[in-house]
Structure 1
């Protein structure tokens, strides 16, 4: 299995990755094909695919915000079961992320990730892949050390229509021992930066960020 970076929508592997995304994720979570052209050329956005026999069997996207010293796992898709794709992607992603952080000469405080709450989302099939089932994915994140932030989370739709997307938790993996909360200002700064790519945002998102601006910290809870 090979781990290959995608930097252009012209790469034949990107079409296969985008098709996999559409098969697994609901429409509001998938950026349109042509809208990927700019992000893929951004050196800070790292998109990789797991390739086996010429086919994309998994993919992951992540980024490191040097100024904030935090990272974000945008998504991870395991497209085949029983192949060890999940561990392969996690290992390769961490190796690449640590190399990026080291090159920047910074400390990595932690890594954000969004995860569906299976108790709130029951109608999505996620491509019929049990490995992508929200219950399974939450257990994987929990085993990796992620905890959810204590806030009512909502994010703007990637369909760029300004609609609110519910049913997810924002989680955080700490790299500092004994860290049981995250500064609210850091969470707010991260969300403002991350979603600056979407000009249309729902009022619920603005209200959530405004509440964060008035808090000192956000507790980390078990998933």
Structure 2
């Protein structure tokens, strides 16, 4: 299996990757095909595919913020069971993020991820059972992700200004004994991460105002 970076929508592997995203995720979570051109050319955004026998069987996108010493996993897709795709993506991403931290002269304190709440998620995720929200949540809990203790919404990637719920903002701490994060770190991260979406819903602004009134946020089990 090969771990290949995608840096242009003209790469034939990108069409396969985008099709896999459309199969697995609901529309509000998928950026339109042509709007990927700029993000893929952004050196700070890392989009990789797992290629098995010429086919894209998995993909992940992530980034590292040296000033905050945190990473973000934008998404991870395991497109087929029984190939070890999840572990392959996890290990490949971890090595790359370690490289990025070392290049910036920083030590990462952990990685954010938006994780579906299976109780709220009603989408079928393409019928691919490794992507079932119950399965994914348990796997991510085993890896060490924890849930930040606040009600979470994010702006739709359809760029229509609507709020997307049904997810938790989670964090994988490098220090397994960490039990909380500074709320200011979370607000700074979300402000920067969603700066790409200028049309944000009132629910998101309300959530951010509430976060600004907190000192810390507890990390709770998934």
TM-score category of the 2 structures, normalised to the smaller one: over 0.9
Q: Name the residue aligned to 2:201.
A: 202
Q: Name the residue aligned to 2:159.
A: 160
What is the TM-score normalised by the length of structure 1? 0.98
Separation in structure 2 between the aligned mates of residue 172 and residue 66 of structure 1, nearest angstrom:
16
Relative to 1, partners in 2 of residues 1:177 and 1:86: Cα closer, same or farther, differing over 3 Å?
closer
Q: Name the residue aligned to 1:182.
A: 181
Separation in structure 2 between the aligned mates of residue 209 and residue 59 of structure 1, nearest angstrom:
30
Q: Name the residue aligned to 1:64.
A: 64
1:90 CA displacement: 0.4
Which ranges of structure 1 fall in alignment gaps of 5 or more residues? none
Matched, 1:221 2:220: yes
Q: Name the residue aligned to 2:95.
A: 95
Q: Name the residue aligned to 2:108.
A: 108
Q: How does 1:20-169 map to 2 (within 5 A)?
A: 20-122=20-122, 124-169=123-168
Separation in structure 1 between the aligned mates of residue 164 and residue 184 of structure 2, nearest angstrom:
22
1:176 CA displacement: 2.5
Separation in structure 2 between the aligned mates of residue 185 and residue 220 of structure 1, nearest angstrom:
15
Q: Report Cα offsets for 1:145-182 as digits up to 9, x if no partner.
A: 00000000000000000000010000000012421000
Q: Report Cα offsets for 1:193-221 as digits up to 9, x if no partner.
A: 00000011100000111111110000000
Which ranges of structure 2 fall in alignment gaps of 5 or more residues? none
Separation in structure 2 between the aligned mates of residue 10 and residue 177 of structure 1, nearest angstrom:
41
Paired residues in the alignment total: 222
Q: Secondary structure at the match of 1:113?
A: strand
Q: Name the residue aligned to 2:172.
A: 173
Q: Secondary structure at the match of 1:31?
A: coil
Cα-Cα RMSD: 0.6
Separation in structure 2 between the aligned mates of residue 177 and residue 47 of structure 1, nearest angstrom:
27
Separation in structure 2 between the aligned mates of residue 96 and residue 221 of structure 1, nearest angstrom:
27
Q: Secondary structure at the match of 1:38?
A: helix
Q: Secondary structure at the match of 2:152?
A: coil
